[in-house]
Amino acid sequence: MPRVSLKYELRHVFNATSYIVPTWRCRERNDGLLESRMEVHVLGCGPSSSVPSMRCLLSSECNVCKEAYENPTSMNHRLNPSILIRVKSGNGTRNILIDCGKTFRQAALRLFPKLQIDTIDAIILTHDHADAVLGLDDLREVQPFRVEIDPITKESCNVSSGALPVFCNEETQQGIETKFPYLCQSENTSARWVAQINFSLFQPLIPFSVCGYDFVPLPVLHGDDYYAFGYVFGFEVNKCFVYISDVSHVPPQTMQYLVERKESIDFLMIDALNTERRHNTHMNLPAVINLVLELRPKQTYLTGMSHDFDYNKTNAVIRDLPKLDNLKVEMAYDGLFISL
């Protein structure tokens, strides 16, 4: 597995002198959050190129891609990795999106009408690659807006009425500012309907709050020298959900953090690009199985899966693996609903 020096990790990622270790289980609060109901909806669990693969459909025979293309409700139809966290409490419903990649619009059109969602309250980003951020422009469709009259043309125009909070690390912010400079302006210079975002930066392993709910950012390697982030959440509903969508190797500090709390991990959703083939920026199924055996979560879901994975056939193979020792591991699918 790819490794970088501890000196590199400390200088470039673990730049905080210490980190806060939150209690897994919920703590006493007086704002009604203990009455919360938290849901996780999978918007996408495929690779950057999605399933079906364009290359497969145009130039090769691939049974998984063919089935996914011909069957609109196929479990093999997988968009870019993304989840929606819905929290319902006495304070109302909050919709928190993790990642907004190339296929966000397609995923939202499939899921949001069913859930009667018309607004996103916050975005959390894992990294700045295309499959995590290239849908940010479409956020204008799910932001509150007001109608303004252009003083020159006298035409009416929808204008975002408030910036959407985006939580990420500094490197991801810099990448987005390069890709989408017009989304990052503090004020719109003209009446135009574009998404408007406001960055909130976090430090590795130090909890941050989104809409009143705690998240712990987990730095993981996504290639030899590139860090992405996974997240731990669910504390307020007495659960622990670990989400790691893009990872090739879990560095020592993050692994220690998880191992020390493995008795409390209820759900693990983790990157598994291929069933056997190794990849320099993603885990494969054998690597995930080894991690599951060490952490022993109550339920594991695979995400980021390529066309190597056939939903019915591969799930059957995984279920029959004797080394899993009755641990529950299965493929996620687009539209999967998990109640915490």
Residue 22 lies in a domain: no
Q: Is residue 27 part of a domain?
A: no
Q: Is residue 23 part of a domain?
A: no
* In a domain? residue 91: yes
Residue 39 falls inside a structural domain? yes
What is the number of domains present in the chain?
1
Question: Facing residues of 241 across strands?
Answer: 233, 267
Averaged in consecutive runs of 10 residues, what is the pLDDT profile of the chain (340 residues)?
38 44 41 70 97 91 94 95 94 94 97 95 98 95 76 72 89 95 68 76 97 96 96 96 98 96 95 96 97 97 98 96 92 97
Q: Which pLDDT score is estimated for 241?
A: 98
Enter the pTM of the model.
0.87
- Report in angstroms the alpha-carbon separations of 298 from 23, 266, 269, 340: 18, 5, 11, 12
pLDDT of residue 292: 97
pLDDT of residue 32: 46
What local confidence, expressed as pLDDT, does residue 72 receive? Answer: 84
Predicted pLDDT of residue 56: 93
Domain that holds residue 300: 6-13+35-339
The answer to the question of residue 273 being in a domain is: yes
| pLDDT at position 239 | 96
CATH number for 90: 3.60.15.10
User: Is residue 26 included in any domain, yes or no?
Assistant: no
- Does any domain span residue 24? no
Please tell me the predicted confidence (pLDDT) of residue 92. 86
Write down the pLDDT at residue 42.
98
Provide the pLDDT for residue 194.
67
